[in-house]
Amino acid sequence: DAGVIQSPRHEVTEMGQEVTLRCKPISGHDYLFWYRQTMMRGLELLIYFNNNVPIDDSGMPEDRFSAKMPNASFSTLKIQPSEPRDSAVYFCASSRQFKQFFGPGTRLTVL
């Protein structure tokens, strides 16, 4: 299995632009997580899905952030409009039971 796949690996955009991050979980996993990591705040859980249904989105910082999981093999995290403080590494992870497998992350820079 190729593991959790995220794209793009790097994204540089200007403030106000829409950003879409993509994730393909490991086949057969029924949980999908989105995390954000910054130097200041460390690793934060943004939202997680179970069987494509959002279970807990309390970590989503504000309405500018939205996440979808239209099917078991694809999820997106969208930021609209983006702001410089959104600059971070965004990780996607999937799991079937306890153990989570993380993707390589998307490094987002908002200028």
Partner 1 sequence: KNQVEQSPQSLIILEGKNCTLQCNYTVSPFSNLRWYKQDTGRGPVSLTIMTFSENTKSNGRYTATLDADTKQSSLHITASQLSDSASYICVVIPAGKSTFGDGTTLTVKP
Of 18 and 56, the one with the shorter C-beta distance to partner 1 is 56
HEC-encoded secondary structure of 29-40: CCEEEEEEEECC
Buried b / exposed e along 41-74 (16+ C-beta atoms within 10 A): eeeebbbbbeeeebeeeeebeeeebebebeebee
Which region, judged by CB under 8 A, interacts with partner 1, from 16-24, 39-47, 69-77, 79-87? 39-47
Q: 74 has which bridge partners?
A: 71
Of 58 and 71, the one with the shorter C-beta distance to partner 1 is 58
Of 38 and 51, the one with the shorter C-beta distance to partner 1 is 38
Whether the Cβ atoms of residue 94 and residue 100 lie closer than 8 Å to each other = yes
Residue window 64-93: x/- pattern of binding to partner 1, with contact defined by CB under 8 A? ---------------------------x-x
Which residue carries 């879409």 as its tokens?
A: 20
- CA–centroid distance for 99 within its chain: 18
Of 15 and 55, the one with the shorter C-beta distance to partner 1 is 55
Q: Is 7 in the site for partner 1 (CB under 8 A)?
A: no
Binding test (CB under 8 A) with partner 1, winner from 12, 15, 43, 111: 43
Q: Which residues bind partner 1 (CB under 8 A)?
A: 42-45, 56, 58-59, 91, 93, 98-105
